[in-house]
Structure 1
């Protein structure tokens, strides 16, 4: 997919959908002081704003533009959120240009415009979030935007949180190779807690985003699941219901032939439905009942038999038959 001359990967679309769905939770997680100033009951997404970027000499749409109410002013304001997944030396200039375009168009409508950047690149570094212009006698310009640098976040601060954004982005936070298993286990426990408060579509969205960052390691995941099951058998059973790909791959029977993960074509439709996760490869002996329940759930969410057949590599006639049952 191309947008404004740059290639947009599924990661960008998934990240955008996460922020659209959990805007209030994102603000509360990373900007609690700002969160207390906003009335999220009066929040709505605005249509994508097409802006001319004079730095890159291209037109592009902003990733996320939200209207929300600022309590003390009793007025609506704009919040612009821009995810940035790669290094770009002039990014701070771009943020100023986007802010300027928004100010030019909306200055009589919204008294405040809040720009926020989310940096998710793998390298850890201090991202510039100011733009200044001065002469010896006078400061001409000082522009400052909010920022979140995911790799500079301590993942341990978030593992007790019931915030869905924390769970979705835990794998992008700062940890070393030795901590990978611990991070994965913490993520799974967060998912277990969240399932009591969120519907299946939102849970699927969270897990789909997280799976873009976690490296699949069946042996490690089996060990984690076994430990969770031993501590609390009910939790282990719930994990299996949430992660049908593992179950279909034969986790219970020790089958380790692996699974292939993918997000179905038509990424916008897939994200909107909460993302169909995983295309499984492996033996499914004795799994007919589980397969039926999984297929019926996704058919109930609006996926067509043809989409499920292509994604799960199951004949479409079998999909229809199991759906009827």
Structure 2
């Protein structure tokens, strides 16, 4: 697995929003299930069967009891494999887990797989062997997050919360190694989340998974959360906890310095001249943006999300021009006027 850890957030969001998970990734299976009746996660049963399985890293396996429209109770094994490489034993694991459940409980179980690797052609969907006229095996549905890479506009408009989770995963991979691009992508995704007409707890749950997947250096995270607080103020919402707010205020002055230090350290570790140059450029941009934001807030009060995003996306020459305008400006319009 790469440096981004998708384990914990995926577990939480799948368990909290399992019907939506099935509707988005496995619509045919979702249509067969009677969601008016409760579903139950059988973690204890499944854990007892896989605890001794030396079959590689299991990122997310969930055994769920559901009811079908015909009234029968069935078990569904959802296997979420989040990894950055091909695993020759993946299909075998699906086979082993499936027959272990059946052997122990004598219950048919449907196995489903969601893959988040970067290989477009790697789609393991079956495992079988033959011996002396006997055939043993399994076939299972497979969905790949990479298949949504060319459908970002569709994902932005989709009402299912897992559309935003999928976007977060894809954009985390696209911005790997470029913290500035990731911050911009995360900010836009967070604004989309805030604009959804969802209840408070759902927005909190989904932001937690987006926040975990699209991790940022401390300085950039402080800056992003400042924008979030401004959105909440304007929309009379409260999502960030008081602890996060206090931590953000404490870290506001030190965040930029720490972020720049991390960027330079990463550049040294990479040992590439272009990495160091990019780090310096991003550092200059962050410094200008942070300084201009502080000046504008001091003179004009809290800034709305549009202004914060405009500053965040501007380059150093543009920020410098706005700073010169600020000297004599009596309004924000005068600050952002054309040179």
TM-score (norm 1): 0.58
More strand by share: 1
Q: CA deviation at 1:241?
A: 4.4
CA 1:176–1:61 in structure 2 vs 1: closer, same or farther (change >3 Å)?
A: closer
Q: CA deviation at 1:234?
A: 6.4
Distance 1:206 1:239 in 2: 19
Alignment check: 8 A CA contact 1:152 1:173 kept:
no
Which shows bigger deviation, 41-50 or 60-69?
60-69
Q: CA deviation at 1:126?
A: 1.6
Distance 2:213 2:231 in 1: 27
Q: CA deviation at 1:10?
A: 6.8
Larger radius of gyration, structure 1 or 2? 2
Structure 2: runs of 5+ lacking an equivalent: 260-289, 298-339
Residue in structure 2 matched with residue 94 of structure 1 by the alignment: 93
Distance 1:221 1:52 in 2: 41
Q: CA deviation at 1:215?
A: 4.2
Residue in structure 2 matched with residue 13 of structure 1 by the alignment: 8
Residue in structure 1 matched with residue 144 of structure 2 by the alignment: 149
Number of equivalenced pairs: 241
CA 1:123–1:213 in structure 2 vs 1: closer, same or farther (change >3 Å)?
A: farther
Q: Cα deviation per residue 1:169-214 (whole Å; 9 max; x = unaligned)? A: 32213774598577435522331134x42233x4332222112221
Q: Cα deviation per residue 1:78-107 (whole Å; 9 max; x = unaligned)? A: 111122223432011011000001112333
Residue in structure 1 matched with residue 190 of structure 2 by the alignment: 188
Distance 1:90 1:57 in 2: 8
Alignment check: 8 A CA contact 2:62 2:79 kept:
yes
Distance 2:198 2:55 in 1: 45
Q: CA deviation at 1:152?
A: 3.2
Matched, 1:66 2:64: yes
CA 1:11–1:258 in structure 2 vs 1: closer, same or farther (change >3 Å)?
A: farther
Q: Cα deviation per residue 1:27-50 (whole Å; 9 max; x = unaligned)? A: 001112221111122212223221
CA 1:239–1:166 in structure 2 vs 1: closer, same or farther (change >3 Å)?
A: farther
Residue in structure 1 matched with residue 80 of structure 2 by the alignment: 83
Q: Cα deviation per residue 1:243-294 (whole Å; 9 max; x = unaligned)? A: 57589746xx99963789xxxxxxxxxxxxxxxxxxxxx9xx99xxxxxxxx
Alignment check: 8 A CA contact 1:249 1:258 kept:
no
Structure 1: runs of 5+ lacking an equivalent: 1-8, 261-281, 287-325
Alignment check: 8 A CA contact 1:122 1:151 kept:
yes
CA RMSD, Structure 1 to Structure 2 (Å) = 4.4
- Note the 1:237-252 alignment, pairs <5 A: 237-238=234-235, 241-242=238-239, 249=248
Residue in structure 2 matched with residue 199 of structure 1 by the alignment: 200
More helix by share: 2
Q: Cα deviation per residue 1:225-255 (whole Å; 9 max; x = unaligned)? A: 97x99xxx967834984457589746xx999
Residue in structure 2 matched with residue 214 of structure 1 by the alignment: 214
Alignment check: 8 A CA contact 2:81 2:113 kept:
yes
Residue in structure 2 matched with residue 120 of structure 1 by the alignment: 116
Residue in structure 2 matched with residue 37 of structure 1 by the alignment: 32
CA 1:208–1:258 in structure 2 vs 1: closer, same or farther (change >3 Å)?
A: farther
CA 1:255–1:221 in structure 2 vs 1: closer, same or farther (change >3 Å)?
A: closer
Alignment check: 8 A CA contact 1:160 1:190 kept:
no
